[in-house]
Structure 1
């Protein structure tokens, strides 16, 4: 199947695309931001010999800003704040009764109940209006299809976003997320880092999905986010939460005078948490409030309100590419959806500063049948047909359908001629070895008989299932478009999957020299003595003055952009990306031919080595990077590393996996992609054995995305904005 999560994993966009009404697309603009203020009690409790619990956090207040979007992209805000003082109020039980909450419910339960009430209104603001859809003349013809235009999918889920909430705020919410009125789903992430968790109301079936807003922007402070993405006139307020604990909160917060400057002294920061100027501003702000509790509520609400503008600007940034940011839980998933979407709609990423022309956009009205004209026509064999008949009979038997009149192996000649002379009854494509035939039952209540079946592509038959016909057509055409342009597709061959999975490497690097003192440490170099077959480590006469690291500027986008560069000696001076798989082979002569011809995109599993005469040319940076298993012996890891491990009582009996640099494959089969292997061959490597190869179609479809995001990054750099990091994260 094609890979385009922005469409195929987003039911609303999938529907709009299938019904040709993408001009009605609108990103989700209704959401809620929230934030906790906490009480901190010093504990100083030893958990283990090496771990001490310094303090324990308790809930003091929770605030939220609810965003109700209008049709013109404006929005209304509703701000709320609940505190421990609410639990002491005379009408607290009355408030609990209103939402049918148990009498022992906390103020957080009360906030959640109110929030569930609000999200129903937010949902009504966001969902598509029937009139708006019918106003498009192109959609009128579709109103009588399966489900009808009124059946447009729009999830009854509203995002609730906190800043850095995956580590702290969600932990404070945890005990309130499961009760008689709502239930908690399975969290994504871990207990220490919860990326997302969905809570569903048992009556209304509305859902709150809690995610971390910081994950949508990348690592930065809320203050930096507001500066770069929000309203620069907004400022974050200050509050000395460290002086408030579970014993004094009532007394401290009911005082009418402002906090003293000394109250802002922070043990965590090792100084004052604010400057004198910020304290003076605080004194001015405090005059608007009757007591510290009112200021706490204002402070808590303000931290939620200032998140709104950055999020709205982020939504606008991606909406121009038809990407719905709030459908995703992180910048990584959003970026992945964007880059895959760009391969189907490259013109969306053709900025004014980039007038290059790419291949045409995907068009739901276009005919993409027979996308690969060079594919070999399919010829039915006795074995293939016999296998098909067996599985058809098994399907019908398990479904309780009569099998007496099913197609049989005796019908081979009839279907051989049918598949050669006819086309797919669903997409009109010819049957080839790239596009295998099957039988599609017209009446799903009946079995696989001649009278009930028409020929159809296997992929079309799978897509067809019980889907809306127009959504089926979308899936089929996107697949054909992907084949035509060699775009990535899901892997259906388990052998290819295992080969690719095996070559994903990473891990801790083996560090050979931990200490270099400027002006003292001599630079060490390695030389190989071929006669004694020893590696000699010795200091030369040069003394270390600086340690620096070289990093390729924009290395990732340069690698996958496929932009033509004369310095790339292979495949027409481009580093092409892999599209759909072409074939898998374990025949040595096929593997060798693919490697030697230097035309195909592949990953190959081989054994290889460098001649000893090349060692001294390569020891400065051995070119084979691999995560291998290493025995912790002195002769293996070196005297220095071994002595350090013993000094710190590290376990030395077990084997470790280390990301290491090698001069051969250590007597093992290892996997290399085509560009890496060709580079090693040009450096003099000798291949001694061939195990397997997976060959892929090649494409340059990521170029529009990379160019667009790189231009946006350059603009951010020139403007001195930390948005530069944001665009770098998207590209990476």
Structure 2
């Protein structure tokens, strides 16, 4: 999680939006640090069942919070072929160990082992290294999480730490290699080597030599390229174009022309909840309709779901994955040996802040999961969702990362062809309390329903008459809402197509990049590269006249320096 957070922060720092260019960071006046603490390890928890079955994991059924100490009893009282200690003996041994290390008798109200306050006292008194392993479920595997080491100790204590978010439990690991599939460095226990690797012994031997020499520190060396590589981002950042250029097949290069657009309509639910002294949430957004338009080689079509259907967001995602199969097929190259991008773009307008956050909890289920995330907690610049069975990948992005328009109608006006315009809907009039009653009506919305109290604006008579003409085509307000929602996704098609073709003039695939800054950088170098002949001779010939150093020239030079020294009263005797 921490590594993913770092990648997200770095990616966010490298990207700039139009708003960022109007601001200059002059200081950091506050910072928040999140500290995550292991819960106390105690009695058994329900999630242990799948781990107890493993023969490498030793579990002791104990009703009190003794799990760390019962796990350690397998070190002080190991099982042998002749003797296997029963549960009662292990609990008794655990209590003896507890008393010896802590200097007090064990009591049943003991809360559990605290890694913050207890672990270093334990390893120093017992002179033993503790290696903590955890279980990750996506994909299912066991991995090393933490080492607690004592200098000059070769005793090892391997434990499995299972945490359900509230409670935790510890069990003894008898065979780390069988459990994890890795062999760890015997010296500092940081480097792991896959058991199935045929070069395991050689790699282990080489690593341990370095480990001893560097005192366990991993020292990374910068290895420079033998030959300088040209900086051509429009080539090197696109694996498809790079391959085609190398094979003299650039005439086959094509942009990602087929994609899906989406839009979510939300209702405001007032909550007015306070968090601390200075934070208050006034309202939350509840999604109640969602629509998508799919652009394929065969044409354009749309689909829609709303809150009247149970789990409508999940059903929309199911249909989205089905539609994405054809989008992926249309974007593919006929020659499958050509490296290409298989992620299907799903584009919203201003979706990074709103739509993606509303949809986020539905992007993880038993059928699909988030495989990539770029952005911050409140702004998702890119989310890639992968289907577990079909392997279809949806790449959710915001149209605003490719343009500077703050409003959808501005993007349609600037980049559209004039056939479609954004519709009108009384968002403030419809709320969580009245939406079902109001949308079931068949008559058009009254003119006062379109009043914008936030901006103190009213709809003009001309615009309202245009709305009435459109509303007359639909039986109910639900039908009009469906039309409005789909229209918001349909009007995006022409602006996206316009930008795709505009940027492709410079051999740059817009939807393969993650921002306008990346596209513009690629375009800049593409324009410079345009006149470059890869087979041309670019050996530089100097046109400067050579200087012939004669004795008279050199004498005059020296006398000039001596004269300067004399003027500055500098000692020139040793010159």
**TM-score scaled by structure 2?**
0.52
Matched, 1:261 2:447: yes
Q: The residue matched to 2:389 in structure 1 has which SS?
A: coil
- The CA deviation at 1:202 is 1.4
> Which residue of 2 is the match for residue 85 of structure 1?
308
> Which residue of 2 is the match for residue 351 of structure 1?
none
> Which residue of 2 is the match for residue 173 of structure 1?
359
Alignment partner of 2:255 out of 18, 27, 30: 27
- When the two structures are aligned, how many residues end up with a matched partner? 314
What is the correspondence of 1:585-604 to structure 2 with a 5 Å cutoff? none
Kept in 2, the 8 Å contact 1:218–1:331? The answer is no
Alignment partner of 2:532 out of 361, 367, 378: 361
- The CA deviation at 1:277 is 1.7
What is the correspondence of 1:702-713 to structure 2 with a 5 Å cutoff? none
Kept in 2, the 8 Å contact 1:156–1:205? The answer is no
Distance across 2 between alignment mates of 1:268 and 1:234: 27
> Which residue of 1 is the match for residue 51 of structure 2?
none
Give a deviation string over 1:248-289, Cα, whole Å, max 9, x none: 3222211111111121223332333x3222111111111110
> Which residue of 2 is the match for residue 8 of structure 1?
236
Alignment partner of 1:151 out of 305, 314, 337: 337
- The CA deviation at 1:367 is 6.3
Structure 1 unaligned blocks of 5 or more: 71-75, 88-105, 131-149, 346-359, 375-732
> Which residue of 2 is the match for residue 339 of structure 1?
524
- The CA deviation at 1:45 is 3.3
- The CA deviation at 1:48 is 4.7
Kept in 1, the 8 Å contact 2:258–2:327? The answer is yes
- The CA deviation at 1:186 is 3.4
Matched, 1:326 2:511: yes
> Which residue of 1 is the match for residue 396 of structure 2?
210
Q: The residue matched to 1:271 in structure 2 has which SS?
A: coil
Alignment partner of 1:237 out of 397, 402, 423: 423
Alignment partner of 2:324 out of 119, 127, 130: 119
Distance across 1 between alignment mates of 2:386 and 2:238: 20
Structure 2 unaligned blocks of 5 or more: 1-228, 543-575
Alignment partner of 1:193 out of 379, 392, 411: 379
- The CA deviation at 1:362 is 3.9
Give a deviation string over 1:516-540, Cα, whole Å, max 9, x none: xxxxxxxxxxxxxxxxxxxxxxxxx
- The CA deviation at 1:372 is 7.5
Q: The residue matched to 1:85 in structure 2 has which SS?
A: coil
Matched, 1:317 2:491: no
> Which residue of 1 is the match for residue 313 of structure 2?
108
Distance across 1 between alignment mates of 2:320 and 2:432: 26
Kept in 1, the 8 Å contact 2:267–2:432? The answer is yes
> Which residue of 2 is the match for residue 526 of structure 1?
none
> Which residue of 1 is the match for residue 245 of structure 2?
17
Q: 1:292 to 1:10 in 2, by over 3 A?
A: same
Distance across 2 between alignment mates of 1:34 and 1:302: 10
> Which residue of 1 is the match for residue 113 of structure 2?
none
Distance across 2 between alignment mates of 1:217 and 1:303: 17
Alignment partner of 2:465 out of 275, 280, 284: 280
Q: 1:362 to 1:181 in 2, by over 3 A?
A: farther
Larger Rg: 2
**TM-score scaled by structure 1?**
0.41
User: Which of the pair has the greater relative contact order for Cα pairs under 8 Å at 6+ separation?
Assistant: 1
Kept in 2, the 8 Å contact 1:257–1:291? The answer is yes
- The CA deviation at 1:64 is 0.7
> Which residue of 1 is the match for residue 272 of structure 2?
44
Distance across 2 between alignment mates of 1:9 and 1:165: 25
Kept in 2, the 8 Å contact 1:166–1:195? The answer is yes
Distance across 2 between alignment mates of 1:268 and 1:109: 33
> Which residue of 2 is the match for residue 94 of structure 1?
none
